[in-house]
Amino acid sequence: MQTTLYRWPGEGAIEYAREQLAGLTRAQAADHTPRLLKELPDDKRVKRCDYCGYPWRDDSLRNTKRTCSEECKTGIKSFQRRKQRADKALLTGKTKKRTKREENYIWWLEYPFWLSEYEMLKQSWKFEKPMDAERMAYIRGNQQLYGNGNRRKKAHKPGQEDDKAARDFNRWTIRKLRG
């Protein structure tokens, strides 16, 4: 017996189920649905969607469609493409290029460590950015004023003096110059 892999039902499948269950009570429908999924009727036009796995009725002229909806068609195409890419990679022996972090950081041990100090210094700032004391005090001050979370942004009116903006700009420039 072949097991069917069900995905989210496509439009055609939903339409078919709606036709089949029309006029039934909820209990009757619940009773009827498993049978509906299990065995297909003799009707040549009713088939299983190649992608979502649910039965649907093919109303196309030549009865040659294999998926119940456009979404399922797209789904099956991207699935095939993914499979092709995977097969090709397997055959040519090409694998995804590993990042410097993956190459140099032994993260899976209890005490993770870096193989190269240079890479460690280059990478670690992205995850734990060091801040100077002034910056920390500024953040704490803002938290006391506004609470945690999103900072309240004051709209700057053009032409108006803005001490904070000037201070921010100076700090930024100094940091840039220091390198």
Interface with Zn ion (CB under 5 A): 10, 13, 49, 51-52, 68, 72
Enter the DSSP assignment of 128.
S
CB atoms within 10 A of CB 90: 10
Q: Which is nearer to Zn ion, 10 or 65 (by Cβ)? A: 10
Angle, helix 26-38 to helix 11-21, in steps of 10 degrees:
120
Minimum CB distance to Zn ion, residue 26 (Å): 24
Minimum CB distance to Zn ion, residue 142 (Å): 52
Sequence-separated (6 or more) residues with CB below 8 Å from residue 19: 57
Minimum CB distance to Zn ion, residue 51 (Å): 5
Q: Which is nearer to Zn ion, 13 or 17 (by Cβ)? A: 13
Sequence-separated (6 or more) residues with CB below 8 Å from residue 71: 10, 11
Q: Which is nearer to Zn ion, 68 or 104 (by Cβ)? A: 68
Q: Which is nearer to Zn ion, 65 or 104 (by Cβ)? A: 65
Minimum CB distance to Zn ion, residue 31 (Å): 24
Q: Which is nearer to Zn ion, 36 or 120 (by Cβ)? A: 36
Token pair in block for residue 150: 């999103």
Minimum CB distance to Zn ion, residue 13 (Å): 5
Task: Round to whole Å and give the CA distance between 5 and 86.
Answer: 21
C-alpha dihedral, 96 to 101 to 107 to 112, nearest 10°: 160
Task: Round to whole Å and give the CA distance between 140 and 50.
Answer: 58
